[in-house]
């Protein structure tokens, strides 16, 4: 007889969703989180696409500590001193089902932990799970602080660098080219200042992504998300690129913050939090074996994250994978069979889900980014040059538009532009 139906390692969105759904169906659940509270060690850019959590907790945004609903999307191509921006505002962005919210994980994860506890899940914080308990070749629980605890199923929700999945042989050590690293500053500003600077109403906000200068022209990008009374400003870069380059990530973030197009946006703000975290970016190639006898793996630990260089998306996958994991565990409980074969219902459900559909859709994109450095150093300069040709009036002899555009295109080469566009479209 096990101590619990399920032990979940990690109190991020993946683990908490699994715990909530299992406890809701009266399963005996223990979740162990090494941070002092759920969300204490978790980081996001961050915008949460609502669809997967909405399915589980309808109307959650009315109750949860979300920051702002995103109604404005901006993408900028940046050189050292210029910025070319696409600004998309639409009420459609706020429509139920396609809405998204900026969140701060320390608050948001604690709220979800509260929901799981209210359903009966036991959440223990401040304890690190050191090992997996294996008996007769089957996972039987965990070892933490010298104590052994048994469960019919152990859920690995321990994030991108899942040492437990490595111990179990479900995945290998992360190679630098399959992982990016992000740093973020949380900068406090009054709500009225944010609403003026980012042209948004109370409760509404902006998601802003930057390619070019923020990552020093390497694979990666910058982000800015508006919260209620702060903005999240950060940079994400591929680890292998950082190792090869000479700028550190904190330096890149400092340069980004001082960029003439960004500095006025955060002027007068007060730094209230600085955080750094790894991001899975191997895409489909990084997904490990998802189930074994008595255990399964969810969220970032399973590599469910898409990094398109200038944007990262993993939170809706973490929630979605938690849902499918909970369903498979409940089925296994009913059948009294916790073998890999039985838990494989999780993998099968994922295959048909939005998670694997999206992972498959974008599977060529990491390779496209790595082999198309012009996205990060080339096109931003070209776009800036083109804008200068169009907008700068200096009293010199005018030139027809096609000649101006032709000059800018020469900076990367017309053939390169066409080939990159074709490869980019194919990668999507």
Ligand X SMILES: Cc1cc2nc3c(=O)[nH]c(=O)nc-3n(C[C@H](O)[C@H](O)[C@H](O)COP(=O)(O)OP(=O)(O)OC[C@H]3O[C@@H](n4cnc5c(N)ncnc54)[C@H](O)[C@@H]3O)c2cc1C
Residue 78 CB contacts under 8 Å (≥ 6 apart), including other chains: 84, 210, 211, 212, 213, 214, 222, 259, 261, 380
> What does the per-residue mask of binding to ligand X show for 22-41, with x meaning CB under 6 A?
----------xxxx-----x
| 325 phi/psi in degrees, rounded to 5 | -65, -45
User: What secondary structure does DSSP assign to 2-60, as a single string?
Assistant: -SEEEEEE--SHHHHHHHHHHHHTT--EEEEESSSSTTTT----SEEESHHHHHHSTTG
Q: Which residue's beta carbon is nearest to the bound ligand X?
A: 314
By CB under 6 A, residue 347 contacts ligand X? no
- Is the previous residue joined to 46 through a cis bond, with omega within 30 degrees of 0? yes
- Closest CB to ligand X among residues 213, 321: 321
- Rounded Cα–Cα distance for residues 285 and 187 (Å): 36
From 45, 222, 303, 378, residue interacting with ligand X (rule: CB under 6 A): 45
By CB under 6 A, residue 141 contacts ligand X? no
Q: Which residues, 150 to 179, sit near ligand X by CB under 6 A?
A: 157-159
| SS3 (DSSP) at 348 | helix
By CB under 6 A, residue 300 contacts ligand X? yes
Q: Closest distance between ligand X and the C-beta of residue 162, in Å?
A: 7
> What does the per-residue mask of binding to ligand X show for 326-345, with x meaning CB under 6 A?
--------------------
By CB under 6 A, residue 13 contacts ligand X? yes
How many residues bind ligand X, per CB under 6 A?
Answer: 40
From 5, 12, 204, 221, residue interacting with ligand X (rule: CB under 6 A): 12
From 205, 216, 234, 282, residue interacting with ligand X (rule: CB under 6 A): 234
Interacting stretch for ligand X, rule CB under 6 A, among 5-13, 69-77, 376-384, 420-428? Answer: 5-13
Q: Closest distance between ligand X and the C-beta of residue 193, in Å?
A: 22
CA distances 318 to 2, 116, 226, 250, 295, Å, are 27, 15, 22, 27, 17
- Closest CB to ligand X among residues 207, 332: 207
Q: Closest distance between ligand X and the C-beta of residue 38, in Å?
A: 7
CA distances 122 to 8, 37, 150, Å, are 10, 13, 14
From 312, 325, 345, 375, residue interacting with ligand X (rule: CB under 6 A): 312
By CB under 6 A, residue 47 contacts ligand X? yes
Q: Which residues, 182 to 211, sit near ligand X by CB under 6 A?
A: 182, 184
From 21, 30, 46, 123, residue interacting with ligand X (rule: CB under 6 A): 46
Residue 212 CB contacts under 8 Å (≥ 6 apart), including other chains: 76, 77, 78, 79, 376, 377, 379, 380, 381
- Closest CB to ligand X among residues 28, 316: 316
283-321 as b/e, with b when 16 or more CB fall inside 10 Å?
A: bbebbbebbbbbbbbbbbbbbbbbbbbbbbbbbbbbbbb
- Closest CB to ligand X among residues 32, 350: 32
37-76 as b/e, with b when 16 or more CB fall inside 10 Å?
A: ebbbbbbbbbbbbbbbbbebbeebbeebbbbbbbbbbbbb
- Taking the alpha carbons at both ends of the chain, their separation in whole angstroms is 49
- Closest CB to ligand X among residues 101, 368: 101
> What does the per-residue mask of binding to ligand X show for 265-284, with x meaning CB under 6 A?
------------x-x-----
The answer to whether residues 124 and 31 touch, using CB atoms and an 8 Å cutoff, is: yes
By CB under 6 A, residue 236 contacts ligand X? yes
- The DSSP letter of residue 237 is E
Q: Closest distance between ligand X and the C-beta of residue 239, in Å?
A: 12
By CB under 6 A, residue 420 contacts ligand X? no
Q: Closest distance between ligand X and the C-beta of residue 184, in Å?
A: 6
Q: Closest distance between ligand X and the C-beta of residue 312, in Å?
A: 4
CA distances 386 to 333, 365, 382, 391, Å, are 62, 27, 6, 9
Q: Closest distance between ligand X and the C-beta of residue 51, in Å?
A: 11
**Which residues of the chain form contacts with ligand X (CB under 6 A)?**
9-15, 32-35, 41-48, 128-129, 157-159, 182, 184, 234, 236, 277, 279, 299-301, 305, 312-316, 318
């Amino acid at each position: 007889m096990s101590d619990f139906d399920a032990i979940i390692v990690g109190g991020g969105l993946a683990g908490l969703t699994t715990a909530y759904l299992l406890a809701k169906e009266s399963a005996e659940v223990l979740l162990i989180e090494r941070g002092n509270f759920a969300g204490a060690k978790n980081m996001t850019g961050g915008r949460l696409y609502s669809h997967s959590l909405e399915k589980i907790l309808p109307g959650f945004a009315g109750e949860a500590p979300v920051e702002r609903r995103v109604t404005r999307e901006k993408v900028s191509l940046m050189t050292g001193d210029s910025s070319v921006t696409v600004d998309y505002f639409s009420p459609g962005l706020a429509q139920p089902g396609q809405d998204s919210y900026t969140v701060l994980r320390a608050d948001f994860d604690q709220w979800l932990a509260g929901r799981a506890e209210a359903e009966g899940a036991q959440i223990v914080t401040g304890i690190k799970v050191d090992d997996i308990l294996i008996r007769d070749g089957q996972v039987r629980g965990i070892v933490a602080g010298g104590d052994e605890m048994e469960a019919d199923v152990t859920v690995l929700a321990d994030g991108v660098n899942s040492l437990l999945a490595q111990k179990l042989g479900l995945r290998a050590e992360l190679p630098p080219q399959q992982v990016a690293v992000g740093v973020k500053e949380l900068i406090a500003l009054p709500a009225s200042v944010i609403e003026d600077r980012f042209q948004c109403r109370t409760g509404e906000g902006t998601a802003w992504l930057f390619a070019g200068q923020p990552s020093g022209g390497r694979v990666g990008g910058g982000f800015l998300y508006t919260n209620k009374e702060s903005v999240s400003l950060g940079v994400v870069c591929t680890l292998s690129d950082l190792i090869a380059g000479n700028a550190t990530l904190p330096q890149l973030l400092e340069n980004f913050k001082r960029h003439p197009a960004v500095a006025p946006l955060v002027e007068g703000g007060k730094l209230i939090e600085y955080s750094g975290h790894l991001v899975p970016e191997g895409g489909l190639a990084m997904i490990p074996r998802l189930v074994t006898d008595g255990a399964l793996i969810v969220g970032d630990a399973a590599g469910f994250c898409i990094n398109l260089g200038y944007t990262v998306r993993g939170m809706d996958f973490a929630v979605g994978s938690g849902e499918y994991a909970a369903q498979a565990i409940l089925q296994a409980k009913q059948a009294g069979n916790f073998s890999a074969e039985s838990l494989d219902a999780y993998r099968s459900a994922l295959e048909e889900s939005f998670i694997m559909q999206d992972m498959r859709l974008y599977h060529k994109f990491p390779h496209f980014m790595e082999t198309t450095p012009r996205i990060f150093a080339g096109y931003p300069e070209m776009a800036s040059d083109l804008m200068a040709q169009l907008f700068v009036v200096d009293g010199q002899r005018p030139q027809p538009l096609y000649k101006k555009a032709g000059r800018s295109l020469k900076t990367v080469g017309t053939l390169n532009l066409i080939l990159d566009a074709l490869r980019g479209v194919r990668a999507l």
